[in-house]
Amino acid sequence: MSRPSQTLIEALAASDLIHDRAVIAQAINEIAVALDARLAGREALMLTVLHGALPFAGQLALAMRSPLRFDTVHATRYRGATTGGELVWKQRPGTSLNGRIVLLVDDILDEGHTLAALRDWCRAENAAEVLIATLCRKSHGRCVAGLHSDVNGLLVPDRYVFGYGMDFQEQGRNLPAIYALRDA
């Protein structure tokens, strides 16, 4: 077996299951209902933050009734490191944000530096409104001042979490549940 598979297997063995697929599905349905109520029939541009939000955004789009257009954005502060630096754009959306309601969809709100920068960029691009939907929010008090999810599905502990879009060393995004590494 190759080393990356062993690394993920080792991570799973040293982790706790936090939310299973059924709990995640229920949370996504609740997020969809809340967003549909907030949009009240208005069209939104679902702007998915790559790569982690792909599973969540796909399931969320299928659960929503509101008219949606789709695009993606890819920006990072990490570039393979464990701490963030300056925001680096890898892909900007091809769709104009001018006058649109933008639904910024991300897998997790941790400290929120990247998500805050993306929100601010959407506003600078003249989005009429920016709504933030996150699947998970970490339970801690270190979030960027003034940043919050308009709709969030699940709380996760202040530990390293992975699965359902979130990676462990670029692996495990396709896991159908969310896991948290045990504290060392």
The Cα–Cα gap between 112 and 172 comes to 22
SS3 state of residue 28: helix
Residues in the chain: 184
The Cα–Cα gap between 86 and 11 comes to 29
The Cα–Cα gap between 50 and 8 comes to 21
- Active-site positions? 110
Q: What angle do CA 154, 129, 115 make, to 5 degrees?
A: 45
The Cα–Cα gap between 18 and 15 comes to 9
Contact 44, 100 (CB under 8 A): yes
Label each residue of 102-113 as H, E or C.
EEEEEEEECCCH
